[in-house]
């Protein structure tokens, strides 16, 4: 998930009066139940016998439905949240028992909320009444296609509201292939589509739910958007499709891994937007193109000829299309955005599945607002000319190659690191010509060069860096008995982690460590890797910064290597480096090199722990280290003595 304070929620379509509270003037209560199915036409866990409970494809459907009965008490949020934990245990290899609170804290931190008490979140009262009696009548069906590795809990407030308005909502989780860890490729995407297909066929044949299958709509969130579009191909009689910032529309150029996965889906002949007749409402986030310039697009909205509507709040982010930002009261603005999109969704389904006529007036009301547009993103389709620079970096005096020099733009998060032999390759484009390149390395004076000055250079470029001569502050150490201590975050969590992945060479992450003012010797550094899919040996630079002015306190490179697939605690002896600290520091790891190729599907995961000062991060050395996760810190520790 992608800084924010607790706010006072606004009253909107969901009628929020405080966290987890809403007034209810709807005609029904929201009943909730789960339905367990087995699809014996598909194998889930291969190389197992038919008697194995995971041999065939398992499905668990979350179903919200209209109820005229109010049972004794509605579910708490943790009742839905724990179901996520239980399914993780049943259908994956890892044991995640007891992680509900940990996951809730991670969710809060992901929204920039200081992590203090997960019970406030877990004890939110929902408006879902488990196993309440189904109301009499016949009700339209909405199929909810959950986001990446998600289930209905991610948008339960919207699904509740649909049930209270008279819809039956069937939520299809995104479990992917065995061992139940979703990826973005075609085969995993098709598992969610096949799950939805099987669920629809089963409900039509055997279910006691009073579903009007002639009035069916599809609701897709995030990665569930493209699954929804594929499902729509199989069910051409579906009457309405709503996308909550869904991936059925994709802008190329931000991530090679997503570009490759989406290209595979687009070329698989499973999407035909020009052929479907379902009315389509596309809700899109406003910051999608804030940090990169697209090289192309697959725009589902522009391709379909069906009745269609588009809304984008320029202030919205991807997270605003799930219920968590509103539920956590991140801010009044975020809650209002979610309420606008939720109300649009409900009114759209009411118009196209129930025959009511309130959507278009509300749609017009929204697009008259300053921050909301009904015009899709447009971008310059002209391909920018690539600017390619290569060369070497050496010591100005000794002429020896300088390894792992940081090279980055000052205005944008683009950069690279020189190789072990001092050579470098830097790929930019003509949109960067007015920027400035900065070279920096421990023990050397930094250098800045305007990109325009590099354009006229022929052949390889030779950079030289001057050694930085600095006097160390005098430290007086008296003879005494040493006291030993471990600073940092000792977590070895296998559930919560922070990633180095594929195209992030040069990325840096770390935590603050409280040293104090007394002279402190650093003996060792440790970090914990929970998962490692890197097929190549990787190299990381240890950095130790003054916490106040971000000055690197080290005088030479300290390189730490990690073998392919290596996990667990990685330890480095720092006694030979004579590191003495007299102030609080930020300690980071920076991915600088690898032997061999790191594939687009590979990542290395550093464990993250709770109740810490947070994780600092940056993708380019020339950016400022910023706290990305409040209350959650990566598992870095230092052994010290004083």
Global model pTM greater than 0.75: no
Least confident range from 153-162, 352-361, 506-515: namely: 506-515
Kindly report whether the peptide bond that precedes residue 322 is cis, defined as omega within 30 degrees of 0: no
pLDDT of the residue at 507: 86
In which element (H, E) is residue 352 found?
A: helix 332-354
Q: Is the pLDDT of residue 574 over 90?
A: yes
pLDDT of the residue at 346: 98
Query: Which DSSP category does 349 fall into?
Result: H
Per cent of the chain over pLDDT 90 is 52
401 CB-side CA count, 13 A? 11
Confidence grade of residue 493 (pLDDT, cut at 50, 70, 90): confident
Pairing of strands 386-395, 308-313: unpaired
Q: How far is CA 208 from the centre of its chain?
A: 38
pLDDT of the residue at 10: 17
Structure confidence by residue, pLDDT tens digits, 244-294: 999 999 998 877 778 888 999 999 999 999 999 999 999 999 988 876 778
pLDDT of the residue at 294: 83
Least confident range from 122-131, 134-143, 289-298, 309-318: namely: 289-298
The average pLDDT across 357-365 equals 95
Q: Is the pLDDT of residue 405 over 80?
A: yes
The set of residues, in sequence order, having a beta carbon less than 8 Å from that of 379 and lying 6+ positions away, is 251, 289, 293, 294, 297
Structure confidence by residue, pLDDT tens digits, 40-87: 999 999 999 999 989 999 999 999 999 987 667 899 999 998 888 788
Q: How far is CA 34 from the centre of its chain?
A: 27
Q: Is the pLDDT of residue 114 over 90?
A: no
Closest CA to 178 of 96, 261, 97, 92: 92
Q: How far is CA 439 from CA 248, 360, 388, 417, 448, in A?
A: 40, 55, 17, 9, 6
Q: Is the pLDDT of residue 625 over 80?
A: no
Tokens of 237: 């009689």
What residues form DSSP beta bridges with 218? 143, 241
Confidence grade of residue 476 (pLDDT, cut at 50, 70, 90): low
Task: Classify 589 as helix, strand or coil.
Answer: strand
Cβ atoms 27, 6 nearer than 8 A: no
Tokens of 229: 């579009």
152-161 per-residue burial string, b: 16 or more CB within 10 A, e: under 16: bbbbbbbbbb
Task: Identify which of 4-13, 93-102, 535-544, 627-636 has the greatest average pLDDT.
Answer: 535-544
The residue that leads in pLDDT, 99 or 219, is 219
pLDDT of the residue at 614: 78
In which element (H, E) is residue 562 found?
A: strand 559-562
Query: What gap in Å lies between CA 200 and CA 367, rounded to an integer?
Result: 35
pLDDT of the residue at 21: 44
Structure confidence by residue, pLDDT tens digits, 464-475: 999 887 655 555
Rounded to the nearest integer, the mean pLDDT of the chain is 85
pLDDT of the residue at 9: 19
Cβ atoms 244, 220 nearer than 8 A: yes
Pure H helices in 393-526:
451-455
- Only one residue has tokens 């570009």, namely 259
Query: What gap in Å lies between CA 306 and CA 371, rounded to an integer?
Result: 26
pLDDT of the residue at 7: 19
Q: Is the pLDDT of residue 126 over 70?
A: yes
Q: Is the pLDDT of residue 414 over 80?
A: no
Pure H helices in 518-627:
none
Q: To 10 degrees, the CA torsion angle through 108, 110, 114, 116?
A: 40
The residue that leads in pLDDT, 487 or 501, is 487
Least confident range from 133-137, 164-168, 286-290, 461-465: namely: 286-290
Query: What gap in Å lies between CA 627 and CA 617, rounded to an integer?
Result: 6
Q: Is the pLDDT of residue 570 over 70?
A: yes
Q: How far is CA 330 from the centre of its chain?
A: 17
The average pLDDT across 373-379 equals 88
Q: Is the pLDDT of residue 622 over 70?
A: no
Count of beta carbons in the 10 Å neighbourhood of residue 292: 15
The average pLDDT across 546-559 equals 87
Count of beta carbons in the 10 Å neighbourhood of residue 614: 20
Closest CA to 218 of 207, 208, 200, 231: 231
Structure confidence by residue, pLDDT tens digits, 478-492: 556 888 999 998 888
Query: What gap in Å lies between CA 322 and CA 463, rounded to an integer?
Result: 49
Task: Identify which of 230-239, 437-446, 495-504 has the greatest average pLDDT.
Answer: 230-239
- What would the DSSP string read from start to end of 125-146? B-SEEETPPPPSS-EEEEEEE-
Closest CA to 146 of 137, 155, 134, 138: 155
Q: Is the pLDDT of residue 558 over 90?
A: yes
Structure confidence by residue, pLDDT tens digits, 182-234: 777 899 999 999 999 999 999 999 888 999 999 999 999 999 999 999 999 99
């Amino acid at each position: 998930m992608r800084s924010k304070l607790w706010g006072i929620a606004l009253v909107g379509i969901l009628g929020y009066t405080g966290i987890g509270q809403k007034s209810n003037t709807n005609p029904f209560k929201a009943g909730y139940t789960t339905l367990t199915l087995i699809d014996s036409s598909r194998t889930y866990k291969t190389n197992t016998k038919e008697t194995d409970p995971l041999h065939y494809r398992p499905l668990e459907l979350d179903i919200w439905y209209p109820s005229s009965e109010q049972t004794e008490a509605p579910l708490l949020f943790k009742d839905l949240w724990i179901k996520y934990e239980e399914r993780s245990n049943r259908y994956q290899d890892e044991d995640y028992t007891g992680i509900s609170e940990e996951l809730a804290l991670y969710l809060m931190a992901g929204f920039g909320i200081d992590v203090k008490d997960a019970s406030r979140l877990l004890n939110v009262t929902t408006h879902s009444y488990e196993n309440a009696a189904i109301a009499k009548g016949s009700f339209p069906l909405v199929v909810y296609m959950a986001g990446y590795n998600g289930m209905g809990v991610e948008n339960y407030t919207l699904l509740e509201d649909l049930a209270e308005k008279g819809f039956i909502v069937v939520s299809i989780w995104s479990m992917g292939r065995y061992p139940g860890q979703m990826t973005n490729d075609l085969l995993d995407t098709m598992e969610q589509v096949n799950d939805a297909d099987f669920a629809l066929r089963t409900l039509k044949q055997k279910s006691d739910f009073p579903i009007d299958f002639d009035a069916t709509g599809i609701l897709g969130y995030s990665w569930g958007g493209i699954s929804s579009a594929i499902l729509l191909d199989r069910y051409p009689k579906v009457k309405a499709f709503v996308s909550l910032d869904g991936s059925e529309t994709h802008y190329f150029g931000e991530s090679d891994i997503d570009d490759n996965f989406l290209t595979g889906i687009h070329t698989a002949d499973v999407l035909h937007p020009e052929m479907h007749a379902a009315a389509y409402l596309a809700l899109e986030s406003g910051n999608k193109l804030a940090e990169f310039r697209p090289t192309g697009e697959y725009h589902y909205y522009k391709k379909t000829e069906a009745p269609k509507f588009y809304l984008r709040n320029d202030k919205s982010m991807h997270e605003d299309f799930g219920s968590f930002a509103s539920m956590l009261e991140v801010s009044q603005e975020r809650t209002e955005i979610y309420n606008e999109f939720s109300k649009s969704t409900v009114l759209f389904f009411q118009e196209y599945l129930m025959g009511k006529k309130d959507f278009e007036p509300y749609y017009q009301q929204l697009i008259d607002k300053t921050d909301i547009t009904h015009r899709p993103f447009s971008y310059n389709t002209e391909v920018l000319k690539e600017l390619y620079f290569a060369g070497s970096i050496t010591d100005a005096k000794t002429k020896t190659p300088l390894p792992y020099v940081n090279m980055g733009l000052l205005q944008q998060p683009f950069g690279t690191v020189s190789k072990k032999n001092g050579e470098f390759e830097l790929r930019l484009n003509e949109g960067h010509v007015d920027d400035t390149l900065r070279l920096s390395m421990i023990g050397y004076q930094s250098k800045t060069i305007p990109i325009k000055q590099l354009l006229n250079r022929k052949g390889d470029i030779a950079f030289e860096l001057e050694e930085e001569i600095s006097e160390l502050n005098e430290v007086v150490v008296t003879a005494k008995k040493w006291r030993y201590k471990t600073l940092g975050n000792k977590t070895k969590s296998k559930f919560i982690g922070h990633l180095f992945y594929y195209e992030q060479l040069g990325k840096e992450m770390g935590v603050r460590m409280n040293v104090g003012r007394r002279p402190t010797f650093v003996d060792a550094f440790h970090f914990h890797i929970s998962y490692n899919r890197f097929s190549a040996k990787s190299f990381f630079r240890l950095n130790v910064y003054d916490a106040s002015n971000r000055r690197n306190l080290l005088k030479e490179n300290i390189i730490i290597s990690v073998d392919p697939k290596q996990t667990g605690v990685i330890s480095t002896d720092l006694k030979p480096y004579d590191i003495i600290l007299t102030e609080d520091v930020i300690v980071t790891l920076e991915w600088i090199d690898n032997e061999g190729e790191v594939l687009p599907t590979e990542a290395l995961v550093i464990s993250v722990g709770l109740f810490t000062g947070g994780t600092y991060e940056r993708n380019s050395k020339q950016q400022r280290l910023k706290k990305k996760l409040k209350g959650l810190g990566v598992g870095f520790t230092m052994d010290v003595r004083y």
